[in-house]
Amino acid sequence: MLNMQIMKKQLLTILMFALGVSAQVWADDKLIDLCEKNTSSTYKEYGTATTIAAGSTLTVRTARYTDFYPTLSGKGNLELYCGGERTYLGKHSDKSYPNWTNFTGHVDIYPYKAVEGNCGFYGAVMNTNGKSYSPEDANPTSKINVLFNNNKVVLHEGAAFATEKSAAGIRIGELNTEAGSRMYGYYKSQSATSTAYYLLGCLHTDATLAGRIASVEKNGAPDATQAVGIVKEGKGTYTLTANDNQISGAIRINEGKVLINNDAATARKKKYTGGTGSAGNASMPVAYVFKGATLGGNGNIGGHVDLYGSLMPGDEGQGTLYLANYATSAACHLIVHPGSSMHFSLTDASAYTSMEASGSIQFSSMLQDFTEGKTQPQVVATLSENQQVKEGDTFTLIKAAKGRQNAADWKFKIVLPEQLTWDVNEAEENGQYVLSVTCTSLNQGSQGGEDDKDNVDDKDNVDDKDEEDEDDSAMFGEVAGTTVQKGMFLRKYLEMLDTDKRIGVAVPSTWTYNVPASPSSTVSKNISNNFNLCVAENEMKIDQIEPSQNGFNFGAANDLVQYAQNQRMAVRGHTLVWHQQVPEWISKDGKNNDKKWTREQLLEIMKNHITKCVKQFGSKVMEWDVVNETLDDDQSIVRTNPNGYQLRKESVWVKVIGEDFIDSAFVYAHRANPNIKLYLNDYDCEFSGVAKTTALYNLAKRLKDKGVPIDGVGLQCHLKANNFSKPKLNQTVKRYAEIGLNCIFTEIDIAITGNSSSELTKQAEVFSQIAQVWLKNDNCPHMVVWGINDKFSWVSGSHAVLFDENNTGKPAYKALQTTLRNYVANMKQQTSVEGVDNANAAEVGRYNLSGLRLTAPAHGVNIVRMSNGTVKKVMK
């Protein structure tokens, strides 16, 4: 009877599916079988929106080629029996994944071998809508697959998770994996770099990962070029127990706790990789423990540990945590940062927790947000509930086979239980470090918490609030009695001042230039009225300028420059060397050297391109983005190398020429025209405290220190209204000032969700704050908006720029008017008091703020010529 029912429902489903009916299917104990005639060219698909009612189970069977992408909702259970390899939770063709936001039930994933029993793996392939994620992303939500955000998922024995070739981020609310299951990254072994990170735990629950975490096998071992990593989110504890993990992309513990509880004794004996294995690049940490988070366990960690938070060796008061790689014997170091702490639990001389490192213990004064900290790291021992410590008991808490590095610069603050009296013994002999403590009396001692009185500054332990910068409100506030008009075109405000500041716009490629006549369309008017700087959105990229080798086509770019001159706009050139929009004759995809250039040949190509481009426009193009987007998205390297940075691997320039293509590019551009400014441009480098921001600074500093002719960096500022911090942007700009570099905003768009008035207001505030940072920092001469209106903006659907689809100024536009107006009014006041060299100043006229000569005394400015010949406007 039940069978009949299931069969009926099954038939109904198949019927509805065949008819393309997209109505919701209510599922109660339903089976969807997607195992018929699946081939690589005819995937079996299921995309009908489906609700799984609470208490019911939807069972899905897939065969090798399946796209399962229904919108799901409901609280029931989903059982996925996955056929081999290509069972996509999404569509394989467009890399999309479905919306399961309203599906909160449990998910069980099993292997299904009934149809084809000989596949590489049985499991689910997770798509990411083509988005790229890097584990140092401060705000990953829009860059990851959030399919399982609200689900508790179990990966059963024999089942697997895999991702497509990409930089994938997969968030799962709760994940448990059984022994015999596997978390891969990209499921094919190819030399192409591919990274996959599983963000686990946002439901704040505890879970166990007993399955293997490792990339696909290549020559019998996990492919180290492909990163598979874990990012621990949420408050719960995740326990890893497999003995053959190779977590090449590292474990990052952002929140909560991770226990590495593999069987270290067996791993040691059999030379297994054990609890974590090592990072793909063995000099990088395999575990990062961030502030407020904890790493513990009594297994082995096969790589370095970077500690900002707590290390809590052992589990439940027992056990040793080993930093040791038994498969390679490489030394594993512990790097402790200010505010970090190590916690030990003491029961008696035979029962306590401890840690042993095969490498050294090193101190880095850099905090998690790349600022400097002062607090020394702590060792804290506490008595367990059932402690029976006796006089004379010795506890060897830490052993590091390769000692404590730079021991003169730092020491542990050691905090011992106050109830007893202790002797601390830090032996640093024969290149080893051993910390042991001995109970010398059962009477109350003095060390507990009191030791090391000079070490009181522990502010690094408290959560840093966003650092507030100085109050700008006076500078940008409304100025009483101002004569500066409201609602003027943006550039007009700047033209009232003696300033080099320019506000720019990227000219959309769909725009016809109207050269040389004055533009007539509303779009063109909005451009020339408001902006005194423009950038070709595409026309100065290498594919357009040099479509064939040494065959230059400056047509569109020339038109733009001509037009800009007619409209008294300056031009910034974008961009000389980039891995995208590269002509096919150089490289088919900009990444690979399919044309087999030698280093010398490609350098010559680059030199020729840069030289001819720069010379073509002379000083009509006031500055160039010489190198664009050369940094990798993942800049974890700056955690262990504070001056480090990682170049993008998938770039033909990096691959064929090597890092010094950057140095050479700047030199060639400078030789072609020493009078223009040269910039290094990149994205996601706007806010201080972010790894990539630090990396761009490090690269720019390296170039500057070496004498490479670089004038500054461009921060692209493709941002989201929700993730903006004015103090952090300001800090970034100021940091460049310290090393004599400009820092400008080159491609601003501020994405919002929909265009409700609250979103538009939020966006307006962000534009205003960016403008405030621009205006108040002398080393930030330009801010450029990427696109003139929401219709032409390259981030379509994000309502990201100043004018709407109908070319009407949005609240963001009005906010910029206000910010500029206030700035001008304030500047007037400031110039009047700012110590103009009156003795040497010769009055050359009396003008109003728009520069018109005044006949009668009025509220206005004097234009004075200074002894050095410059002209200043002075408030009267």
Catalytic positions? 629, 747
Minimum CB distance to ligand XIL smaller for 417 or for 714: 714
* In the block, residue with structure tokens 């800009």: 564
First to last CA, the chain: 96
d(CA 707, CA 548): 33
Beta carbons within 10 angstroms of residue 20's beta carbon: 8
Minimum CB distance to ligand XIL smaller for 648 or for 846: 648
Q: How far is the CB of 609 from ligand XIL (least distance, A)?
A: 16
Chain residues binding ligand XIL by CB under 6 A are 509, 537-538, 628, 716, 747, 794
- Crossing angle of helices 661-672/599-617, nearest 10°? 30
Minimum CB distance to ligand XIL smaller for 197 or for 683: 683
Residue 76 burial by Cβ neighbours in a 10 Å radius (0-12, 13-18, 19+): buried
Q: How far is the CB of 743 from ligand XIL (least distance, A)?
A: 16
- Amino acid present at 711: D
Q: Which residue is closest to ligand XIL by CB?
A: 794
Q: How far is the CB of 802 from ligand XIL (least distance, A)?
A: 15
Q: How far is the CB of 129 from ligand XIL (least distance, A)?
A: 18
Minimum CB distance to ligand XIL smaller for 636 or for 746: 746
DSSP 678-711: EEEEESS--STT-HHHHHHHHHHHHHHHHT----
Minimum CB distance to ligand XIL smaller for 352 or for 661: 661
Q: How far is the CB of 537 from ligand XIL (least distance, A)?
A: 5
Distances, alpha carbon 870 to alpha carbons 532, 713, 847, 873, 875, in Å: 22, 28, 16, 10, 16
Q: How far is the CB of 573 from ligand XIL (least distance, A)?
A: 12
d(CA 684, CA 634): 11
Minimum CB distance to ligand XIL smaller for 509 or for 608: 509
Q: Where are any strands of DSSP class E within 401-474?
A: 413-415, 421-429, 432-441
Minimum CB distance to ligand XIL smaller for 539 or for 634: 539
d(CA 374, CA 520): 61
Residue 87 near residue 66, CB atoms below 8 Å = yes
Q: How far is the CB of 575 from ligand XIL (least distance, A)?
A: 6
* The total number of residues written for the chain in this structure: 876
- Nearest Cα to 686, choosing from 653, 737, 635, 728? 728
Q: How far is the CB of 716 from ligand XIL (least distance, A)?
A: 6
d(CA 737, CA 581): 32
Minimum CB distance to ligand XIL smaller for 124 or for 621: 621
Q: How far is the CB of 652 from ligand XIL (least distance, A)?
A: 17
Distances, alpha carbon 558 to alpha carbons 433, 540, 572, 622, in Å: 68, 9, 13, 14
Residue 292 burial by Cβ neighbours in a 10 Å radius (0-12, 13-18, 19+): middle
- Nearest Cα to 251, choosing from 267, 272, 228, 282? 228
Minimum CB distance to ligand XIL smaller for 432 or for 538: 538
Q: How far is the CB of 224 from ligand XIL (least distance, A)?
A: 31
Residue 298 near residue 314, CB atoms below 8 Å = yes
DSSP 720-748: EGGG--HHHHHHHHHHHHHTT-EEEEEEE
Beta bridge partners of 357: 323, 400
Minimum CB distance to ligand XIL smaller for 306 or for 537: 537
Distances, alpha carbon 660 to alpha carbons 652, 666, 702, in Å: 13, 10, 11
